[in-house]
Protein backbone atom coordinates (compact mmCIF):
# COMPACT_ATOMS: atom_id res chain seq x y z
CA UNK A 1 0.00 0.00 0.00
CA UNK A 2 1.52 3.32 -1.00
CA UNK A 3 1.78 6.42 1.18
CA UNK A 4 -1.25 8.15 -0.40
CA UNK A 5 -3.50 5.14 0.19
CA UNK A 6 -2.39 4.91 3.82
CA UNK A 7 -3.18 8.59 4.29
CA UNK A 8 -6.63 8.13 2.71
CA UNK A 9 -7.32 5.14 4.96
CA UNK A 10 -6.37 7.17 8.04
CA UNK A 11 -8.74 9.96 7.01
CA UNK A 12 -11.60 7.54 6.38
CA UNK A 13 -11.09 5.90 9.79
CA UNK A 14 -11.00 9.32 11.44
CA UNK A 15 -14.23 10.25 9.67
CA UNK A 16 -15.97 7.22 11.12
CA UNK A 17 -15.32 8.60 14.60
CA UNK A 18 -16.85 12.02 13.86
CA UNK A 19 -20.48 11.70 14.89
CA UNK A 20 -21.16 14.53 17.32
CA UNK A 21 -22.67 17.95 16.50
CA UNK A 22 -19.42 19.54 17.67
CA UNK A 23 -17.74 17.74 14.74
CA UNK A 24 -19.83 19.55 12.11
CA UNK A 25 -17.26 22.31 11.37
CA UNK A 26 -14.51 19.70 10.95
CA UNK A 27 -16.66 17.61 8.62
CA UNK A 28 -17.64 20.66 6.57
CA UNK A 29 -14.03 21.78 6.18
CA UNK A 30 -12.92 18.28 5.19
CA UNK A 31 -15.76 17.95 2.69
CA UNK A 32 -14.91 21.33 1.14
CA UNK A 33 -11.15 20.87 0.94
CA UNK A 34 -10.50 17.24 0.09
CA UNK A 35 -9.71 16.20 -3.45
CA UNK A 36 -10.60 12.58 -2.66
CA UNK A 37 -14.16 11.78 -3.71
CA UNK A 38 -14.68 8.96 -1.20
CA UNK A 39 -13.60 11.17 1.69
CA UNK A 40 -15.89 13.99 0.52
CA UNK A 41 -18.76 11.52 0.22
CA UNK A 42 -18.11 10.04 3.67
CA UNK A 43 -18.07 13.54 5.18
CA UNK A 44 -21.32 14.40 3.38
CA UNK A 45 -23.00 11.26 4.70
CA UNK A 46 -21.78 11.96 8.23
CA UNK A 47 -23.23 15.48 7.94
CA UNK A 48 -26.49 14.03 6.66
CA UNK A 49 -26.65 11.70 9.65
CA UNK A 50 -26.14 14.66 12.00
CA UNK A 51 -28.80 16.69 10.12
CA UNK A 52 -27.19 19.94 11.26
CA UNK A 53 -28.32 22.94 9.24
CA UNK A 54 -24.75 24.33 9.18
CA UNK A 55 -24.03 21.71 6.51
CA UNK A 56 -26.76 22.88 4.13
CA UNK A 57 -24.99 25.77 2.39
CA UNK A 58 -21.62 23.98 2.02
CA UNK A 59 -23.40 21.00 0.46
CA UNK A 60 -25.25 23.29 -1.94
CA UNK A 61 -22.04 25.08 -2.91
CA UNK A 62 -20.34 21.78 -3.69
CA UNK A 63 -23.14 20.89 -6.10
CA UNK A 64 -21.88 23.71 -8.34
CA UNK A 65 -18.19 23.06 -7.77
CA UNK A 66 -16.43 21.79 -10.94
CA UNK A 67 -14.49 19.29 -8.78
CA UNK A 68 -17.72 17.41 -8.10
CA UNK A 69 -18.94 17.15 -11.69
CA UNK A 70 -20.09 13.60 -12.30
CA UNK A 71 -19.89 12.81 -8.57
CA UNK A 72 -22.79 14.71 -7.01
CA UNK A 73 -25.14 11.87 -6.11
CA UNK A 74 -23.96 11.56 -2.53
CA UNK A 75 -24.10 15.32 -2.07
CA UNK A 76 -27.71 15.28 -3.24
CA UNK A 77 -28.44 12.37 -0.92
CA UNK A 78 -26.94 14.30 1.99
CA UNK A 79 -29.40 17.14 1.34
CA UNK A 80 -32.37 14.80 1.81
CA UNK A 81 -32.72 15.70 5.50
CA UNK A 82 -33.03 19.43 4.77
CA UNK A 83 -35.79 21.63 3.36
CA UNK A 84 -34.50 22.19 -0.17
CA UNK A 85 -37.24 24.47 -1.48
CA UNK A 86 -34.79 27.38 -1.60
CA UNK A 87 -32.53 25.51 -4.03
CA UNK A 88 -35.24 24.10 -6.27
CA UNK A 89 -33.93 25.95 -9.37
CA UNK A 90 -30.47 24.42 -8.85
CA UNK A 91 -31.96 20.96 -8.41
CA UNK A 92 -34.02 21.34 -11.58
CA UNK A 93 -30.90 22.47 -13.47
CA UNK A 94 -29.03 19.40 -12.22
CA UNK A 95 -31.83 17.17 -13.47
CA UNK A 96 -32.04 18.87 -16.87
CA UNK A 97 -28.31 19.15 -17.50
CA UNK A 98 -27.33 15.79 -16.05
CA UNK A 99 -25.04 16.79 -13.20
CA UNK A 100 -23.66 19.98 -14.71
CA UNK A 101 -25.76 22.96 -13.55
CA UNK A 102 -26.62 25.84 -15.86
CA UNK A 103 -25.87 28.67 -13.46
CA UNK A 104 -26.05 32.27 -14.46
Whether residue 14 is contained in a domain is answered as: yes
Question: Would you say residue 98 has pLDDT above 80?
Answer: no
Whether residue 12 is contained in a domain is answered as: yes
Question: Would you say residue 8 has pLDDT above 60?
Answer: no
Exposure letters 64-82 (e unless 16+ CB within 10 A, then b): eeeebeeebebbeebbebb
Q: Residue 73 and residue 31: Cα distance in Å, rounded?
A: 14
Question: Would you say residue 83 has pLDDT above 90?
Answer: yes
Query: What tens digit of pLDDT does each residue of 9-58 get?
Result: 666 666 667 677 888 999 999 999 999 999 999 999 999 999 999 999 99
Whether residue 102 is contained in a domain is answered as: no
Whether residue 104 is contained in a domain is answered as: no
Whether residue 89 is contained in a domain is answered as: yes
- What's the pTM? 0.79
Confidence band for 99, pLDDT divided at 50, 70 and 90:
low
Q: Which domain holds residue 45?
A: 3-97
Per the structure, the count of domains in the chain is 1
Query: What tens digit of pLDDT does each residue of 61-79 get?
Result: 999 999 998 899 999 999 9
Amino acid sequence: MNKNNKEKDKKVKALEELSDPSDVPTLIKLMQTTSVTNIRNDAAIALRDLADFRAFQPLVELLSDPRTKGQRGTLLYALEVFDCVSILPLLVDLIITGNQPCLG
